[in-house]
Amino acid sequence: MSDLPEKQVKRLYALIQEAETNLSAAKELLISITGDDGAIITKRTSGLDEAKGKIIEGVFDGQKMAGPDGKEYPVPANYASKSKLVEGDVLKLTITDDGGFVYKQIGPIERKQIIGTLVQHDGAYYVEASGHEYRILLASVTYFKINIGDQVTIVIPADNPDATWAAVEAAL
């Protein structure tokens, strides 16, 4: 990657961000058409209690789940955003026999709500609040339709005001 000109790297990053935004918009459109945000997920995960698979418990770090073996597992951004997961939440991951990943929040940590302002730099979104910048997921920005400069209520771990990541509670 160091051989690529900086301009190409920035362009690739912009293309990836655009693709993520388009995917999020497509999911929202699908939800608006089906009229039930759980319809597709329910069909895919129905009978999960009877499903056999590997179960791993881990801690959410703002983007991924860290397993007890140190391995990281990707958490879908739309799930993390919709569930308002924050750093330190305990998740259970079931890896089904057919390779599907199904997450469930089993240990939410104590939370605190604060208000801040949405900013963007280095290709990422942050909320400036209480003299700190908290990174937020792109899925939250698109879901809540928030823009740079908007006031936002975020959720952070109550016992870790210096957390890196926050979840968006609402746009104001």
51/36 same-domain check: no
Domain assignment of residue 77, given as a range: 47-107
3 DSSP assignment: T
Do 2 and 22 have their domain in common? yes
Structure tokens at 129: 């609040």
Lowest mean pLDDT of 6-15, 113-122, 132-141, name the range: 6-15
Predicted confidence (pLDDT) per residue in 80-131, tens digit = 999 999 999 999 999 998 889 999 999 999 999 999 999 999 999 999 998 9
Co-location of 84 and 135 in the same domain? no
Same domain? For 115 and 103 the reply is no
Counting the structural domains of the chain, the total is 3
Indicate the pLDDT class of residue 67, thresholds 50, 70 and 90.
very high
The strand ranges marked E within the chain are 53-60, 64-66, 72-74, 90-96, 101-107, 111-121, 124-129, 132-136, 151-157, 167-171
Contact call for residues 116 and 154 (beta carbons, < 8 A): yes
Mean pLDDT of 61-89: 93
Q: Are 53 and 23 in the same domain?
A: no
Let me know whether 54 and 82 are in one domain: yes
Same domain as 11, residue 24: yes
Cβ atoms of 165 and 64 closer than 8 Å: no
Q: Which whole-number Å values give the CA distances from 69 to 55, 59, 63, 65, 105, in the listed order?
A: 13, 11, 17, 11, 19
54 and 93 inside one domain:
yes
CATH code of the domain covering residue 98? 2.40.50
DSSP string of 4-16, one letter each residue: S-HHHHHHHHHHH
Max CA pair span of the chain:
51
Give the C-alpha separation, 82 to 97, whole Å: 26
Are 41 and 52 part of one and the same domain?
A: no
